[in-house]
Amino acid sequence: MKKFIMIFIMMILVVLIYRAYDISASENISSEIEESVYDEKEIDMVEVEKIEDEIQYEDINLSFLGDVMTDSYIGEYIDSYGVDYPFEDIRDILTSDDITIANFESSISLRGETLKPKGYGFRSKPYTLEGLVNNGIDTVSLANNHILDFGEVAFNDTIDSLNEYGIRHVGAGDDINQAEKPLIIKKDNYTIGIIAYNSIIPWESWKATDDDAGTAWFTKDYNDSVIENIKKTKEECDLVFVVLHWGIEYSSEPKDWQIEMAHKMIDSGADGVIGHHPHVLQAIEIYNDKPILYSIGNFVFLKKDEDAGRTGIFQLKYNGDLFIQGQYHPVYLKYCKANLLPIDGDMAEDYIKHLTDLSEGFNTSILKDGIFKK
């Protein structure tokens, strides 16, 4: 009997030990499964955070136009044919892009007096700005040698009129801080910075200072502020464009110092450099995968000769900060109007060949449809 009881007790102990082991193993397995699930969730969360951090960019198109004003003979045509007259031919292109930037080279006022010789000081009527708005010109540079043609009172009217018509402006202001202040534009997922500077200064009083209104300015020897402005602006913007009024009138080639400075600006963070003032076209260069347009010529402006009437719309396309391609749309300035040329016509072909010849020294090729890329 005692033997039977001992065997029975031993069997119970075996069962209890087995069950204890089984429970412990199950808990370990369960713990490992939970850790695995947690790890997978942790990985998933990290991946989601990475995806959320990666901004998805659509392509963005910016159009750049050369010198524009609505005074003199152009103003007379507008008085006769309406505010849209100079721009109506290129409306479809400019209203279908994302941002259009022109160099507005005139005071906008009914007041003030000019110190310039007759015919060289420009003062556009405020109502003519409606033509810019109607035809897609939403941003203007004021960093040029005509913005103060009729003095500070007309300059103040210029700023007020642009604000009234909702046209963004950059490159001039009440003091040097305002003049050099980047124009920041939010467009879709992009933050775009535009900086504008002028090297063509008729009088020292046109330079913006700590106390005086004027244009943002630079010279070939004094341009550190431009470089620093680019670097600071790039810290908060996806794309930075530098618009410069520089060069020699009616010269078809940039100077060596301009080339050197343009390269320095790209190296400092600029995504594009756009120049005007010569009133004629100059070369296109793709430097470190970024475009430099040394002079984009006139647009709606008085012209000295047929070469000064050979102009165009310069469109730049980006995805993020990657330059995809540019496109030159040939435009002929005649009868104070920007006349868009059919891309398959003889004149357009001649214009594209002319721009190609100018750009040959920079190894830039321009296709028959005006496309240029890296």
pLDDT of residue 40: 40
- The overall average pLDDT reported for the chain is 89
pLDDT of residue 19: 55
- Of the two residues 328 and 49, the one the predictor is more confident about is 328
Examine residue 39 and state whether it is found in any structural domain, yes or no: no
pLDDT of residue 205: 94
Examine residue 10 and state whether it is found in any structural domain, yes or no: no
- Of the two residues 122 and 19, the one the predictor is more confident about is 122
DSSP 271-339: SEEEEESSSSB--EEEETTEEEES-B-EEES--SSTGGGEEEEEEEEEETTEEEEEEEEEEEEETTEEE
Residues 173-201 have a mean pLDDT of 97
Examine residue 94 and state whether it is found in any structural domain, yes or no: yes
pLDDT of residue 12: 53
Q: Is the pLDDT of residue 42 over 50?
A: no
Could you tell me the residue range of the domain that residue 182 belongs to?
Answer: 55-372
The H-or-E segment that residue 169 falls in is strand 168-170
> pLDDT by residue (tens digit) across 243-298?
999 999 999 999 999 999 999 999 999 999 999 999 999 999 999 999 999 999 99
Say which amino acid occupies 143: A
Q: What is the CATH number of the domain that holds 91?
A: 3.60.21.10
Examine residue 288 and state whether it is found in any structural domain, yes or no: yes
Examine residue 162 and state whether it is found in any structural domain, yes or no: yes
Judged by average pLDDT, the poorest of 10-24, 166-180, 333-347 is: 10-24
Residues 168-194 have a mean pLDDT of 97
Percent of the chain at pLDDT exceeding 70: 86
Q: How far apart are CA 139 and CA 192, in angstroms?
A: 12
Q: How far apart are CA 319 and CA 194, in angstroms?
A: 17
- φ, ψ (nearest 5 deg) of residue 117: -60, 155
Q: Are strands 290-293 and 298-300 parallel, antiparallel or unpaired?
A: unpaired
Whole-prediction pTM: 0.86
Q: Is the pLDDT of residue 21 over 50?
A: no
pLDDT of residue 2: 46
* Tally of domains within the chain: 1
pLDDT of residue 304: 87
Examine residue 21 and state whether it is found in any structural domain, yes or no: no
Examine residue 40 and state whether it is found in any structural domain, yes or no: no
pLDDT of residue 119: 87
Alpha helices in 181-307 (DSSP H): 224-234, 256-267
pLDDT of residue 264: 98
pLDDT of residue 56: 83
Examine residue 92 and state whether it is found in any structural domain, yes or no: yes
> pLDDT by residue (tens digit) across 240-251?
999 999 999 999
pLDDT of residue 118: 87
Judged by average pLDDT, the poorest of 32-41, 52-61, 300-309 is: 32-41
Residues 89-106 have a mean pLDDT of 97
pLDDT of residue 331: 98
> pLDDT by residue (tens digit) across 211-236?
999 999 999 999 999 999 999 999 99
